[in-house]
Amino acid sequence: MATAYSLNHPSVRMYNMDIKDFSVNDITRDLGLGKGDIDVVIGGPPCQAYSTVGKRLIDDPRGKLFQEYFRMLSELRPKVFVFENVKGLLSMSGGDLIKTIVSLFRSLGYDVNTKILNAADYGAPQIRERVILAGTLLGGQFRYPAPTHYNPENGRIAGLKPYVTLGEAIGDLPELKNGSEALEYTVPPQNEYQELMRRNCRDELRDHNVPKNGEHLVRLMEALPDGGSPNDVEESLRPKSGFANTYCRLWWNKPSTTITRNLGCVSSSRCIHPRQPRPLSTREGARLQGFPDDYVFYGSRSERNLQIGNAVPTFLSLAIKESVKGYLDKYDRELTQEELLGKRGTSTEYIQTELF
């Protein structure tokens, strides 16, 4: 992931190292910044390993990534932090885990807000709910981004756009057969979303390929209706094992369900193309996460799919970024007014650090 990020953002300083070996001393040495100089820290440490709460949470060796996030907040003291995690975090340990996490952040002096945000509400062609904790040191109210899109199945909402569907997101990409690859576009963009995805891309099409599946799986996929599951096909084609949401087609006229790192594996969570007997291609997965077509991924197909499936959809990231910027801008305006009255020193330049 670090390699891919550096390929796409060559001007950004990247520390590709174990987080436990990273500290404020590295930033002070390289950038001349110390405690309190960083404005924003963003991270999403996995919490699935936690089964204990209270003080044991920090001592639990399975929780090292969370420990390091907590440590970095202690060392850096950013004005704002954003903590992203799976929706299931709210129910882990009977709800005690999230209470403990919030309590730990508050022990550092942060006002902490918690909200579930759905990426589809902000223009992503994917239903993907995430818990977003926002912590602030400056006082005042942090406002989460207002939705820009709505679910048309629940009725129209004035001033908002309907959800972007899977078909609208990937409908211009060439058809693929089992185990094949397409290297160039065959039709121009058909809508605003496709135009955005192709705005800065070169002529060649990257990462639009799928693995080769056995004949039995191909016949199963051919038999599946739009949005269908193995229960919708004859018994002889049904897999011998699997969960309710595996070996299932996506819907053409709806947003995708949450995609995962296994988006190219038919036996994974719903990831079969709505109109073709194959799983999603790497590029289609990237489209559903909001990565433009010129974004470069690195490594094997499975490694590239990992980089895509583990990401936060770009449209949700941008919406959160605007909320953070609005909060800091408000603080900056108030600070400037105080400066005019001779009450405070100079304002602070915004610096963002992302912790992965």
Strands (E) across 283-351 are located at: none
| pLDDT value at 14 more than 50 | yes
pLDDT of residue 344: 43
When pLDDT is cut at 50, 70 and 90, the band that residue 92 belongs to is confident
pLDDT of residue 42: 96
| pLDDT value at 88 more than 70 | yes
| Cα–Cα distance measured from residue 264 to residue 103, given in angstroms and rounded to the nearest whole number | 39
Token digits for 239?
A: 């897999």
pLDDT of residue 334: 75
Percent of the chain whose pLDDT exceeds 70? 89
| pLDDT value at 116 more than 60 | yes
| Alpha helix ranges (H) inside 282-313 | 282-289, 301-309
Token digits for 40?
A: 């924003």
| pLDDT tens per residue, range 17-61 | 988 999 999 999 999 999 999 999 999 987 655 545 555 555 555
| pLDDT value at 346 more than 70 | no
pLDDT average, residue stretch 239-261: 95
Pairing of strands 80-86, 111-118: unpaired
pLDDT average, residue stretch 120-147: 96
Contacts 24+ apart (CB under 8 A), 110-118: 110/73, 110/81, 110/135, 110/136, 110/137, 111/135, 111/136, 111/137, 111/139, 111/142, 113/142, 113/144, 115/144, 116/87, 116/90, 117/144, 117/145, 117/316, 117/319, 117/320
Q: How far is CA 127 from CA 34, 106, 117, 143, in A?
A: 39, 31, 10, 22
Token digits for 211?
A: 């693995």
Query: What is the three-class DSSP state of 142?
Result: coil
pLDDT of residue 50: 54
| pLDDT tens per residue, range 277-303 | 999 999 999 999 999 999 999 999 999
Angle of helix 96-107 relative to helix 64-76, nearest 10 degrees? 20
3-state secondary structure 23-78: CHHHHHHHHCCCCCCCCEEEECCCCCCCCCCCHHHHHCHHHHHHHHHHHHHHHHCC
Catalytic residue numbers, as ranges: 47
| Cα–Cα distance measured from residue 337 to residue 71, given in angstroms and rounded to the nearest whole number | 34
Specify the DSSP class assigned to residue 108.
T
Angle of helix 301-309 relative to helix 282-289, nearest 10 degrees? 10
Range of lowest pLDDT (32-36, 228-232, 329-333): 329-333
Q: Which has more confidence, 45 or 165?
A: 165
pLDDT of residue 97: 85
| pLDDT value at 158 more than 90 | yes
Strands (E) across 73-176 are located at: 80-86, 111-118, 129-136, 149-150, 161-162
* 140-172 as b/e: b if 16+ CB within 10 A: eebeebebebbbeeeeeeeeeeebbbbbbbbbb
| pLDDT value at 162 more than 90 | yes
pLDDT of residue 342: 58
Are the beta carbons of 81 and 35 closer than 8 angstroms? no
pLDDT of residue 81: 98
pLDDT average, residue stretch 246-258: 97
| Cα–Cα distance measured from residue 103 to residue 134, given in angstroms and rounded to the nearest whole number | 13
Are the beta carbons of 227 and 274 closer than 8 angstroms? yes
When pLDDT is cut at 50, 70 and 90, the band that residue 339 belongs to is low
